[in-house]
Structure 1
Amino acid sequence: MTRAQAIAKAQDYFDSGRMKTDLGRLIAIPTESQNPDRAPVLGEYLDKEMQPLLESLGFTCRILTHAKARGPFLYAERIEDPALPTILGYGHGDVIRGLDAQWSEGLSPWKLVERDGRWYGRGVVDNKGQHLININGLRAVLETRGKLGFNAKYLIEMGEESGSPGLRELCEDEAELLKADILIASDGPRLNAERPTVFLGARGVITFDLQITAREGGHHSGNWGGILSDPAIQLAHAIASITSPTGQIRIHEWVPKELPDGVRRALADCKIDGGPDGPAIDPHWGEPGLSPAEQVFGWCSFDVLAMKSGVPETPVNAVPPSAWARVALRFVVGIDPRDVAPALRRHLDRHGFDMVEIIMPGTERFGATRLDPDDAWVRFTIDSIAESTGKKPALLPNLGGSLPNDIFAEILKLRTIWVPHSYPGCSQHAPDEHLPAAIAREGLVAMAGLYWDIGAGNAPKL
């Protein structure tokens, strides 16, 4: 009954092919939360797969619902002793749209296929594969020790890819049920494929629309060009005023006053690498004087997600009547999300763009969070993973993307530690989503070791 035996059991789960078989069943359930036709399938994922899996580990399960949610939630708990620390796990079983027709020949979003050491399928990294790894890390400890040595709770939602509607309200209503000492979960990518990673929160995100409606209908550009305002030109200039030509944000309320020393120290040895399939970094883009890691994990970024004016599919010689863009601000701790839109309004008005309407669609709004990198639980987690994998993990103060971590940190008042089992080039949210098998195996090793160490009573006191 040793730590090494627990890790060996986790390795055997992978080496025997059982993980691949289990993940294949999960991938075959098309849990697209953004597709209304898939609504009945969301509950099936929990009823047929997750609940039996967790019950086999001695968890008591129940389905939770909320009127605002896109799908049901599964709550599971295994209470060994109220005096022991309680760890909350989290995952989401819904996936982004499959985009079936866009996958490479021989691949499908709903069938697990292995090629060149990679497992392909929708959800292999976001997020089915990741919570499958963690749950089976728990299994390895249970099968070795006969108990976890701590209390475990788990929450699996089915609407994260739709912005987690209802999750905030559910956690407010069920705060006592979900009461725990710390969140340990997995989502998002590692810093790179080779290096285990721990991150402590997430950047926030606010998406909104910018729109100019000048008049009804288009008018011939030969007859009216030059005397009618062009909304596309106006909107292009309005957007251009938000950043420099190289993407440096010019709205001071949208960026932190400085990069905290603790964040700078944590990122000092972090190098972003998307692997051979990843894009080349543009070294002169963004905030001057920051490394790529500091840009993504310590600063804010603004991007134009889509733009439209006229009829792009069949252009005509007419001054367009309107122009529209969907834009997004990713922001870190220290930015007031309530002032993002008002600050933009003030900026646009100062620059003469009062004709631009700001529309908040009410989606993709997560807060920014960041656990103190010097917290004792952070060092404990880093040391545990290093011992298990033989590698120095990267420590990211927060993920560059966004997660509903603010709900756990602010509503449930939890320390939040994330151990991702993916990498930046995984094609998450795109065709050909894939998980390198080596990362899956190493993730099982890391989580079995971490759960073993917590249950051994070596974790910091809470």
Structure 2
Amino acid sequence: MRQGQVLRSQAIDTAQDYFDHGGLLSDVQRRVAFHTESQEPGQAATHIAYFQQEIIPTLQRMGFHCRILDNPVAPLAPFLLAERHEDNTLPTVLSYGHADVVRGDDIHWHTGRSPWLVSVEDERWYGRGTADNKGQHSINLAALEAVLQTRGGRLGFNSKWLFESGEEIGSPGLREICQSEQMALQADVFIASDGPRVSAGRPTLFLGSRGSVLIELQLLLRKSGHHSGNWGGALRNPAVLLSHAIASLVNAHGVINVEGLRPPPLGAAVRNALSGLTLAGEANSPQVDTDWGEPGLSPLERVIGWNTLEVLALQAGDANKPVNAIPPTAKAVCQLRFVVGTDWRNTRQHIVSHLQRHGLEHVQVRILSSSAATRLALDNPWVRWTLDSIQLSTDKQAALLPNLGGTVPNDAFADILGLPTLWLPHSYPGCAQHAPNEHLLAPVAREALGLMAGIWWDLGEQGSQIIAQAAAHTGENHV
């Protein structure tokens, strides 16, 4: 075995020894104890404390220079930018993590568990943020330090990290920071971890995410309700109109009826990447409705490669205490999840025109929020490099997803910073992300430490070569 291979294996062993001796668990236990709930304004100071007491000391120990950045949009959700520079001739990687978590929801956790105290039960580490995202960025930081130790204080590349504390509230200010700090965030590649693998036992690479548009449909017909016996048949019922509006947008089988909200046909490259993969299958996963959604596609193709229009909430009257009255108003909040190639910027116009054609012009349409879809080309040289590195480290063929079914703020890195984006998730579909009893699987975490040590090691060995190949690939595609 060549010396480089020996040292690579040593870096992986160092990372996994850290796990075996309780180092990662100790990190995660301390970090989960910070109540960094971005949905709770009263916890704003906790984000700064998390940066100052946990992340900055870890980064400074590795030679990073750190600075906390004010959020230009949401003052209660600051950023942390860190840089470790070795040489101008070396590759530069930008990494990312988010300090914030969703609400702890303490009362709904299983008896004896707390969202803020990590409890270990069999192979599961329970606690808020274990999977999303404190456990994941803790793994990447520990693997980076293992490579630094093995190389005798060098990485072989320049490393930058951007942490935010508002991902769970839509990443306000992230895009503005990427624009204002564009020079400081310059890099050759983006590598980060969030979201789930396709399954616990299958390492996964995804190259972007579906976008999201949050849509409000509302009817405001009167100031108050009116007796359904005295006025029924003479007054428009907003709940009935809203029901018809929703039914006109998406049919009873979950198929989108609005042509402008549908994606382009599923390409061969995406089909090939997803062939042989299945959706979920873990014990905690819901049973898939195989007859729901776009016909002719597998469930995974519908989640990864297609668009969905979901109703998230409905409101008209009080279903728990109904009265004999025609409600004055009705409202629904819907969500369009969409892939690259969708005309998402004209979502409101598409819906309004569609409703008018169906005689439902009384429905008011408002866009509440939106974020773009992204996807790195599947034939980009960085993709094959990553898959080869994972296989060398784990002896497993990684699943390649063109994009995540959910939404991460990847457009900030792919579109604003113009970086090839590689996401290596360390969670799994049954982790109860955002729910009570969120957890990290210990075997996945241990494997991920070795996997990421291999990624960081190979970046230091092969990064310059892959950058040149990627530049040539981009040039060929623009000829």
Do the aligned residues in 1 keep the contact of 2:124 with 2:442 (CA within 8 Å)?
yes
The size of the alignment, in residue pairs, is: 460
Question: Is residue 2:431 matched to residue 1:429?
Answer: no
Give the secondary-structure state (helix, strand or coil) at the position aligned to 1:288: coil
Distance in 2, matches of 1:457 and 1:395, equals 21
Tell me which of 101, 109, 124 is aligned to 1:118. Answer: 124
Q: Which amino acid letter does the alignment assign opposite residue 454 of structure 1?
A: L
Partner in structure 2 of residue 207 of structure 1: 214
Question: Is residue 2:462 matched to residue 1:457?
Answer: yes
Question: Is residue 2:135 matched to residue 1:135?
Answer: no
Question: Is residue 2:72 matched to residue 1:67?
Answer: yes
Tell me which of 322, 330, 333 is aligned to 1:323. Answer: 330
Partner in structure 2 of residue 242 of structure 1: 249
Give the secondary-structure state (helix, strand or coil) at the position aligned to 2:39: coil
Partner in structure 1 of residue 277 of structure 2: 270
Distance in 2, matches of 1:337 and 1:257, equals 12
State the superposition RMSD in angstroms: 1.0
Measured against aligned partners, the alpha-carbon deviations of 1:247-273 in whole angstroms (never above 9, x if no partner) come to 011111111221111111111122112
Give the secondary-structure state (helix, strand or coil) at the position aligned to 1:341: helix
Tell me the CA shift for residue 64 of structure 1.
1.1
Partner in structure 2 of residue 230 of structure 1: 237
Give the secondary-structure state (helix, strand or coil) at the position aligned to 1:388: helix
Partner in structure 1 of residue 452 of structure 2: 447
Give the secondary-structure state (helix, strand or coil) at the position aligned to 2:260: helix
Partner in structure 1 of residue 54 of structure 2: 49
Do the aligned residues in 1 keep the contact of 2:264 with 2:342 (CA within 8 Å)?
no
Measured against aligned partners, the alpha-carbon deviations of 1:221-277 in whole angstroms (never above 9, x if no partner) come to 121122211111110110011112100111111112211111111111221124011
Distance in 1, matches of 2:338 and 2:275, equals 20
Partner in structure 1 of residue 476 of structure 2: none
Partner in structure 2 of residue 23 of structure 1: 28
Do the aligned residues in 1 keep the contact of 2:105 with 2:436 (CA within 8 Å)?
yes
Question: Is residue 2:379 matched to residue 1:377?
Answer: no
Question: Is residue 2:371 matched to residue 1:366?
Answer: yes
Distance in 2, matches of 1:22 and 1:461, equals 33
Q: Which amino acid letter does the alignment assign opposite residue 350 of structure 1?
A: R
Partner in structure 1 of residue 156 of structure 2: 149
Tell me the CA shift for residue 457 of structure 1.
2.7
Partner in structure 1 of residue 109 of structure 2: 103
Do the aligned residues in 2 keep the contact of 1:274 with 1:423 (CA within 8 Å)?
no
Give the secondary-structure state (helix, strand or coil) at the position aligned to 2:16: helix
Distance in 1, matches of 2:407 and 2:72, equals 24
Tell me which of 341, 344, 365 is aligned to 2:348. Answer: 341
Do the aligned residues in 2 keep the contact of 1:43 with 1:72 (CA within 8 Å)?
yes
Give the secondary-structure state (helix, strand or coil) at the position aligned to 2:223: coil
Partner in structure 1 of residue 475 of structure 2: none
Give the secondary-structure state (helix, strand or coil) at the position aligned to 1:460: helix
Distance in 1, matches of 2:460 and 2:107, equals 46
Partner in structure 1 of residue 3 of structure 2: none
Tell me which of 352, 356, 361 is aligned to 2:363. Answer: 356
Distance in 2, matches of 1:216 and 1:134, equals 55
Distance in 1, matches of 2:424 and 2:156, equals 20
Measured against aligned partners, the alpha-carbon deviations of 1:55-87 in whole angstroms (never above 9, x if no partner) come to 111111111113203411111111111111100
Do the aligned residues in 1 keep the contact of 2:213 with 2:368 (CA within 8 Å)?
no
Give the secondary-structure state (helix, strand or coil) at the position aligned to 2:467: coil
Tell me the CA shift for residue 292 of structure 1.
1.4
Tell me which of 411, 430, 433 is aligned to 2:416. Answer: 411
Tell me the CA shift for residue 312 of structure 1.
2.6
Tell me the CA shift for residue 341 of structure 1.
1.2
Distance in 1, matches of 2:60 and 2:380, equals 33
Do the aligned residues in 2 keep the contact of 1:63 with 1:73 (CA within 8 Å)?
yes
Listed as ranges, the gaps of 5+ residues in structure 2 are 1-5, 469-479
Do the aligned residues in 1 keep the contact of 2:33 with 2:117 (CA within 8 Å)?
yes
Do the aligned residues in 2 keep the contact of 1:230 with 1:320 (CA within 8 Å)?
yes
Question: Is residue 2:201 matched to residue 1:194?
Answer: yes
Q: Which amino acid letter does the alignment assign opposite residue 384 of structure 1?
A: S
Distance in 2, matches of 1:148 and 1:31, equals 31
Partner in structure 2 of residue 395 of structure 1: 400
Distance in 2, matches of 1:217 and 1:378, equals 58
Distance in 2, matches of 1:164 and 1:339, equals 22
Question: Is residue 2:195 matched to residue 1:181?
Answer: no
Give the secondary-structure state (helix, strand or coil) at the position aligned to 2:87: coil
Distance in 2, matches of 1:104 and 1:227, equals 51
Identity of aligned residues (%): 53
Give the secondary-structure state (helix, strand or coil) at the position aligned to 2:86: coil
Distance in 2, matches of 1:409 and 1:389, equals 28
Distance in 2, matches of 1:387 and 1:457, equals 14
Measured against aligned partners, the alpha-carbon deviations of 1:394-447 in whole angstroms (never above 9, x if no partner) come to 000000000110010010000000000001111111111111111111110100
Do the aligned residues in 2 keep the contact of 1:35 with 1:97 (CA within 8 Å)?
yes
Do the aligned residues in 2 keep the contact of 1:149 with 1:456 (CA within 8 Å)?
yes
Give the secondary-structure state (helix, strand or coil) at the position aligned to 1:427: coil
Give the secondary-structure state (helix, strand or coil) at the position aligned to 1:440: helix
Distance in 2, matches of 1:332 and 1:457, equals 31
Do the aligned residues in 2 keep the contact of 1:149 with 1:457 (CA within 8 Å)?
no
Tell me the CA shift for residue 353 of structure 1.
0.8
Q: Which amino acid letter does the alignment assign opposite residue 280 of structure 1?
A: Q
Tell me the CA shift for residue 456 of structure 1.
1.5
Tell me the CA shift for residue 116 of structure 1.
2.3
Distance in 1, matches of 2:297 and 2:251, equals 16
Farther off after superposition, 282-291 or 337-346: 337-346
Give the secondary-structure state (helix, strand or coil) at the position aligned to 1:107: coil
Tell me the CA shift for residue 370 of structure 1.
0.2
Give the secondary-structure state (helix, strand or coil) at the position aligned to 2:466: coil
Within-5 A mapping of 1:257-296: 257-296=264-303
Listed as ranges, the gaps of 5+ residues in structure 1 are none
Query: What TM-score results when the alignment is normalised by the length of structure 1?
Result: 0.98
Do the aligned residues in 2 keep the contact of 1:301 with 1:330 (CA within 8 Å)?
yes
